[in-house]
Amino acid sequence: MFEAESKGLKLLNEGVSNIAPEVIALEENEDEMILILSFIESGSPHKDFWRDFARKLATLHSKTNDLFGLDHPNYIGSLPQSNQQHDRWTTFFILERIEPQLKRAVDGGNLSREIPRQFSRLFLKLEEIFPDERSSLLHGDLWSGNYMVDHKGMVCLVDPAVYFGFREMDLAMMKLFGGFDASVFSHYHEFFPLEKGFEQRMDICNLYPLLVHVNLFGAHYAHQVEGLMKRF
């Protein structure tokens, strides 16, 4: 997990300079692994904080790859995250994001055995729902607990679950749990305009983090997943 964390932070900083803590050392011996990061001193948001946040996120998302995924697996929270690469977003979304978490949730008794049929019907519509975009470098777990305000009043991203994916995954998750000023989304649209229909696609994007939360925290999130699937 520390090795994946180290790689993720380095990828973020390659995408946008100094957007994440610097990895100073990763040491391993027989008994333990130690990850040493630069210390980020907390501060108060700069007056242009949300515009700067949006600009840096758009810059991160402008880093592309020919494939969706990553050359190594990592973690989403404490759960393994497969990043096997695919040439289409919908294929990656189904096989590497939804199906592993869905199987875990059903096998663990947190979702009914009927719900995979609903997902199968949704899968048939995804090519029509998602716009055709190149992959973007994503933070991958962008909720309000995973950003800090540094001593200069600017954003610092932590605890990534990086991969090259559909950029609206980050934006949808930001809306799912709140904690972000509404202006960040309008600023983002200025820097890297979204295709029409984001609000409709948002709930589909958020099926992944919701399934993750079903597997981590149980029944409350299961009701949210079941409610969304009734709509689709």
Told to judge if 52 belongs to the known catalytic residues of this protein, a careful annotator would answer no
> How many CB atoms neighbour CB 92 within 10 A?
24
Catalytic position from the list 31, 87, 132, 141: 141
> How many CB atoms neighbour CB 128 within 10 A?
7
Q: SS3 for 148?
A: strand
What separation, in Å, do the N-terminal and C-terminal C-alpha atoms of the chain show? 35
State which amino acid sits at residue 19.
I
Distance of CA 68 to the CA centre of its chain: 13
The distance between the two most distant Cα atoms of the chain, rounded to a whole number of Å, is 53
Residues 6+ apart with CB under 8 A from 14: 63
Tokens of 88: 């289409």
User: Known catalytic residues?
Assistant: 141
